[in-house]
Amino acid sequence: MILKVGNRQELMSWIQDRKGLGMVFITTNGCFDLLHVGHVSLIQYCGKIRQDRMNRPAFKEQTPAIMVLVNTDESVAKLKPGRPLIPFDQRVEMVDALKGVDFVIPMPEADPRRLLQVILPVVHVKGAEYEGKTMPETELVEGNGGRILFAPRLREISTTLILNRMA
C-alpha cells in the first residue's frame, strides 16, 4: 500500500494507530531507480527478518510490517545529479508490487531521519555496501531501541553499474 499522507502529523497519527494494534515496523530506504535484483534481495532480506520475528515467542504479540521509504524525484536529484531516470510515481508503484512490501512512503529528504523519527522501526535494513560506514540514521534508530541490520550483497549490481555498462 502506498501511503499518501499529507504531512508529518498525519503520518504520526497513522503510525500510532497501527502501533496501538500491535504493529511494529521493519524499514528500509532508497531511490529504487531502475529496479534490479539487488533491490529485490534487499526486500527479501526484510522479509526474512519479519519471518524470524514472527517465529519468536517473545514477539508473538507483534505484527511486523515492511515499510519502504522511497526518495522523491527532488531528493534523488540531490543525491545523484542527473537522476532519477524513472519518475517517482512509477518507482513507488514498482516497489509496492514487490512481494513482502506492506507500505511505501514518499521520502522528500535525502536523509531518512525525519521519517524514521516518526516511525521508530524495530529494525532498519541497509545494503551490505553501507556496513562499516557512518550513516546518519544509526544513532536515531539504535537510540530508540531499534537495530540496524545489513542485507548481504548477493550480486555485484547497482543502478550506477547498470548505467555505466550502458554508456
What average pLDDT does the chain have?
91
Q: What CATH number has the domain bearing residue 76?
A: 3.40.50.620
pLDDT digits (tens, 9 = 90+) for 114-159: 999 999 999 999 999 899 999 999 999 999 999 999 999 877 777 7
pLDDT at residue 44 above 80?
A: yes
Inter-residue contact 102 to 24 (CB < 8 Å)? no
Domain that holds residue 134: 8-166
Is 80 a member of any domain? yes
Which carries the bigger pLDDT value, residue 163 or residue 128? 128
pLDDT at residue 30 above 80?
A: yes
Is 2 a member of any domain? no
Is 3 a member of any domain? no
Inter-residue contact 130 to 153 (CB < 8 Å)? no
Overall domain count for the chain: 1
Is 143 a member of any domain? yes
Inter-residue contact 126 to 135 (CB < 8 Å)? yes
pLDDT digits (tens, 9 = 90+) for 49-83: 999 999 988 888 899 999 999 999 999 999 999 99
Is 30 a member of any domain? yes
